[in-house]
Each structure stands twice: as C-alpha cells, then as structure tokens.
Structure 1
Amino acid sequence: MADKVELTELFEDNNVLHVFQGKELIKNRAVTVSDIYRPGLELTGYFDFYPSKRIQLLGRTEISYAAMLDHETRLHVFNKMATLDTPCFLISRSLPVPKELTEAAARNGIPILTTSESTTYIMSVLTQYLREHLAQRTSIHGVLVEINGMGVLITGASGVGKSETALALIQRGHRLIADDRVDVYQRDHDTVVGEAPKILNHLMEIRGIGIIDIKDMFGVGAVKDHTEIKLVIKLENWDPKANYDRLGFDQDTREICNIEVPQVTIPVKVGRNLEIIIEIAALNFRAKQMGFDASVTFQQQLAKLIAENEKNNN
C-alpha cells in the first residue's frame, strides 16, 4: 500500500493540470489521502474540522464567495487554510486566483495548480487517480490476460503451464497484463484491478527460452497496463481420483482484496488444448452474466423430459 503520492507524479500523470505558482515547491509535497476538499465553510471562518491534508479545490462557488470578502478577511482565511499538511491549492475552470491566496501560499510554501476543466470533472478524475495509487496492494502468483475485453487471472502451481497457455492466448489475439506476479488492488466495493510490477511490464518468462518482451514481439495491441479481474482460472494437474465439475452447476470463488471473484478449475492433461478451453470458459462466463446459462437450460430440459416420461408411464 502506497502511503503517499508525490505531487510531481500527480502533476506528470494528469496533463490537465498546470502550475500557477510554486513550481519549485512541487517536488517537496505529497498527497496522503484520496479525497479532494472544497473549502466552503472555511471561507466563512469555520475551521473546527478543516481537513488540511487534502488537495484544496476552489471552483466557481468558492472563488465567487471569496471575491465578496474584504482583503483582510481573505488574507486571514487563506493563511489559515495554508497549513504545513496542505499538499496544494487547485483552481478549476481557469478562474482568476485571488491575490491573497498567492500571498498565503507563497508564505507557507504551498504550490498553486490550475486547470481549465470543470470543478466536478477534475474532482472525479483526481479522486479516482488517488484512490488507485493509494489503494492497498497485494501480489498474486499467476498470469493476468485480457480475453475479449475481460480480465482473466490464470493461477496454479509452478510448472503447470500458466505462461505457455497465456502465450498461446496472446497468439490468438488476446492481451497480456502481467506474467508470474500480478499486483492487485481494490478499486471500489465490487472491483479488483490487476497490473504488472514495473520491472515486469510487458515481459514473460517461458521455460527453455527465457525472458521475452511481448510488446516488442507482438506489438502494442498485445499488451495492456491494467484490467479488472472478472474471472479466475485455476489450473491443476489432472487427478483421476478427483471429481471435476462436468455440468457447470458448481459455483466457486476466490477472495482477492476482500472481493469474491468467480473461479473455474480446469484440470491439465496431455492433449487438452488449454488456451481454447480457457477462451471458451471466459465466453461462457460472459454468457452467464448476460443471463444465458447452458447448465440451467440442460437442467430445465432434463426436468421436462423426466416429467414427460412420468406422464407417459402413468
């Protein structure tokens, strides 16, 4: 879990932001909370619960209200807002920056950023960005691929064939996100996202060949930086004594970052075309999400057949 996001990183990753004042101060500031704050009550002088560690966003409402205050009041309010914990001030809609704010920010070593974007939009974008970068992260041993736009995490014991299967899927037009180690984090209550560690980005290890660069070998269309994990495929060596699901009635899940993700177990056996089986498993899962479940249809037809036989026998 990252405990902070450097303001330099935030600025470089969001090209809608511009430095109005204090460019030399950006490298010394960091954001530690994902929420963005609009200081409305503070402009009236109420500071009892001022969240000073958040980015302070001033939009049309805040700037208009500040313009109604006299010079001394504005200077007093902005000086109280400019604390040691405050990462920066951000002015939306390219609105004019109050002179008193520039003085208070300069006095306390806080940079001022501006953007031409609307207040609501920039608040949403930066909140999402900070949530992702400050989210709790963990690593999973496996391979993450995107099959027809759906993130599929392939897991299993070492040597079961995860990377080779993923390579075959890439050859069939699907995309690699991460090989061997997948960094995962919770985006919201229902979404878990996976990505590759920076050192392993676009790389894959194939036993007997070594490290290969998927981006260089197959092109930019064969890789992606991150994806939502919708399905887990667990590969395990074939056990003749095991009772594998043949009809698709069993519903298994795997917990990832406190989210239950659907999981399908596929036995590995010589002669089985794993990449096609995984591809079909992903398509079947998507069909179930859309309300088309072949196992339910089979069950209904079987029940109908049994009922007809009972009727004929009577």
Structure 2
Amino acid sequence: MSAGQGSAIERQVSLRRLYGDLNSELRWQCLHHPEEDHHLRRDSSAEDDVGGAALVGFFNFIRPHAVQIAGSCELAYLRAHPEAITQFPPHRLCLLVVCEGQILDDHLYEDLKARHIAVMATPMGAKIVLARLQHYLHQELAPRQQVHGVLVDVLGVGLLLQGEAGIGKSELALELVSRGHRLVADDSVLCIREAPNVLTGHCPAPLRNFLEVRGLGIINIREFFGAAAIVRSKRIRLVVEIQDMRDMEMADIDRLQGKVDHLDILGTQLPRLCMPVSAVRNLAVLVEAAARSQYVKESGGDMLADFEAQVRLSVGEE
C-alpha cells in the first residue's frame, strides 16, 4: 500500500442528499425543489467556520445564510414585511426551512419558487433544526486532506508517524500495538479539521483494520490483537518524523530537546519531532517517551525548564 500527501479535498453537499440523509430525523416535507439542484459548499469567508455551520442560521440580512431557518417569529416578520425576502440575493439563499408546523403564505411561496429557492417544512422546533443542520454540514464540509503516514494512539496521544518508504513505520506501529497501544490508520491517513487548531486523523474505509508489514504482507490487526487494538479516529497531537541516523546531520540536533519544528496540515500547525533511527535504538520505547513528553507539555509542564532550574540550583549550592 502506498499513498502520497495530497491537496485539500473540496467537499459539497446537494440539497437532495441533505433531504435524504436527514429525512428520518427531521420528518420534513419537500414543498418545492428547483429543477437544477443546489450544492452547498463551505463558506470560506467565515473564518471561524471550519466546516459548514456558517451556512445555516436565522434571518441575517447582512451576511445571509445559504440555508435560512424560519420559525414562528421569522414567518411573522415576513408576513408584516413581505418585501424582506427580496433582500436575500438569489445566489446566496438556496433553501428556506419552515419549522414548527408553520404554514407558508401563498404569495411568499410563489415568490420563492420564482427565485428558484428550495422550500422544506418540518414540525420540529426551529432551534432543533438549526443545531442538526449545522452539525450535519460541519461534519460533511469540514476541510480534509489525505496524508502519507501511520497514525497510532499511544497513551491517549495521537501520533502521526512519517518518513521515507521502507524506514519502518508499519513495523514500529506493529510493535506499538503489541505493547498495548492502538492503530488508527496505516499508510494513508484522512485528516479532517474539526475545529480551529483541532485536526483528527481517520482511516479510509478500504484500509480499516489492516497493516502492511514488509516480509509479512497484509495483516489484520483486529484479528491478531482484538477490537481494542483498533480505533476509528484520533486527534493528531504530534508528528514523529523517522529518519535514518546516517542521513541526519546529528550536529544540528539539540541534545537537550531534540530536533523540533512544525508541520502544517490544513492550516493547523502540528509539532514535529525528528527521530533518528538505527539498529541499536528501541524506537517503540522512544515513541512512547515522545507521547508522554507531549502530554506533559500540553498539561503545562516544561521538562527542559525544570532541568535548567535544577542545574542552576545545584550550581548555587556548590
């Protein structure tokens, strides 16, 4: 199995799919659907919206939503100000969802049809519909990217193992699983930006449960070690770049904190630790130590600062 790092995957959701996926939950009825189906895409102008949550909302005339939720209050406003619907640009407003069992006035319905705007009705409360649509679109439209590597859950820390082909990433993952840790994905990791600075790694469906080990071939981790050895997804907290010690400039490595930089995936800066590999180094133990170190850092600890303070204290005592 082999895969390179790809570019970000652009996602879209058609209104027909939206209707079908949520029909059983929202119990809605399609009152009107234009002949040409609309497609919802992530709003790139919404800086804090990493998925599609900003596409849905109650009436907003300044930054209109593609999907407008209309409950009793919104429809009462439209009845009093029927011209207000024309303030929504047709290219922005794709769908009006009438909630709470409300009845849409005939003239408003005909106006929406003329503007090629889809109309759906549901007996559910407006806030419930809003929350469900935002959650659905956030999941479907969140930025995602396929990257090459092996993702493992070590002591609760998601580690993305990267390195040249044949460096031993899958063998290392197998050893980590045999030590009680969990595999997320081998060779190809689907990264999804769930929230600002939150990147989760998932296993593509065709590769789920499997690991390729040179000399052994394809093995089923679930069959070998049980269901507890597999996890569907994990937040990526640290990238471990495995490099051949002979190829690394050892003089460039800081002996007190290693060689650390950052890897950018989908606009998220992930800390990256370069790990030199050789026949005499136990990588599994080193990776476990890296996971513990990352956990300490995220908890507010600074082992280097503690060491330097202890050295200064010892020098002062002498």
TM class by shorter-chain length?
Answer: 0.7 to 0.9
| Counterpart in the other structure of 1:288 | 297
Conserved 8 A contact 1:153-1:231: yes
Give me the whole-angstrom Cα distance separating, in 2, the residues matched to 1:229 and 1:167.
19
Give me the whole-angstrom Cα distance separating, in 1, the residues matched to 2:39 and 2:225.
38
Note the C-alpha offset of 1:304: 0.9
Asked if residue 258 in structure 1 is aligned to residue 270 in structure 2, the reply is no
Give me the whole-angstrom Cα distance separating, in 1, the residues matched to 2:120 and 2:206.
33
Larger relative contact order, structure 1 or 2 (CA cutoff 8 Å, min sep 6): 2
Give me the whole-angstrom Cα distance separating, in 1, the residues matched to 2:88 and 2:10.
26
Conserved 8 A contact 2:98-2:119: no
Q: % of aligned pairs identical?
A: 27
Q: Which amino acid aligns with 2:74?
A: E
Give me the whole-angstrom Cα distance separating, in 1, the residues matched to 2:285 and 2:20.
41
Picking from 36, 43, 58, the partner of 2:55 is 36
Asked if residue 58 in structure 1 is aligned to residue 65 in structure 2, the reply is no
Unaligned runs of 5+ in 2: 1-8, 43-51
Give me the whole-angstrom Cα distance separating, in 1, the residues matched to 2:84 and 2:258.
63
Structure 1 SS opposite 2:250: coil
Superposition map of 1:107-146 within 5 A: 108=116, 110-112=118-120, 114=122, 116=124, 119=127, 122-124=129-131, 126-146=133-153
| Counterpart in the other structure of 2:13 | 5
Give me the whole-angstrom Cα distance separating, in 2, the residues matched to 1:27 and 1:213.
45
Aligned residues: 295
| Counterpart in the other structure of 1:46 | none
Note the C-alpha offset of 1:39: 5.2
Give me the whole-angstrom Cα distance separating, in 2, the residues matched to 1:26 and 1:306.
80
| Counterpart in the other structure of 1:206 | 213
* TM-score normalised according to structure 2 size: 0.74
Picking from 294, 301, 307, the partner of 1:298 is 307
| Counterpart in the other structure of 1:275 | 284
Structure 1 pair 302–86 and aligned structure 2 pair: CA distance change class (3 A): same
Asked if residue 177 in structure 1 is aligned to residue 184 in structure 2, the reply is yes
Unaligned runs of 5+ in 1: 43-48, 310-314
Note the C-alpha offset of 1:114: 3.2
Q: Which amino acid aligns with 1:140?
A: V
Q: Give me the CA root mean square deviation.
A: 3.7
Q: After superposition, give the CA deviation of every residue in 1:137-162 in whole Å (9 maximum; x if it has no partner).
A: 33321111223333211111111111
Structure 1 pair 11–21 and aligned structure 2 pair: CA distance change class (3 A): closer
Conserved 8 A contact 2:182-2:228: yes
Note the C-alpha offset of 1:301: 0.8
Note the C-alpha offset of 1:190: 1.9
Note the C-alpha offset of 1:131: 4.3
Structure 1 pair 268–59 and aligned structure 2 pair: CA distance change class (3 A): farther
Q: Which amino acid aligns with 1:98?
A: L
Note the C-alpha offset of 1:13: 5.4
Structure 1 pair 130–237 and aligned structure 2 pair: CA distance change class (3 A): same
Give me the whole-angstrom Cα distance separating, in 2, the residues matched to 1:26 and 1:301.
73
Picking from 157, 163, 170, the partner of 2:164 is 157
Greater shift after overlay, 55-64 or 218-227? 218-227
Structure 1 pair 265–249 and aligned structure 2 pair: CA distance change class (3 A): closer
Q: After superposition, give the CA deviation of every residue in 1:195-246 in whole Å (9 maximum; x if it has no partner).
A: 2334334432222333334445545443344332211111112238624444
* TM-score normalised according to structure 1 size: 0.75
Structure 1 pair 82–291 and aligned structure 2 pair: CA distance change class (3 A): closer
Give me the whole-angstrom Cα distance separating, in 2, the residues matched to 1:19 and 1:172.
50
Conserved 8 A contact 2:173-2:183: yes
| Counterpart in the other structure of 1:167 | 174
| Counterpart in the other structure of 2:45 | none
Give me the whole-angstrom Cα distance separating, in 1, the residues matched to 2:217 and 2:123.
46
Asked if residue 147 in structure 1 is aligned to residue 154 in structure 2, the reply is yes
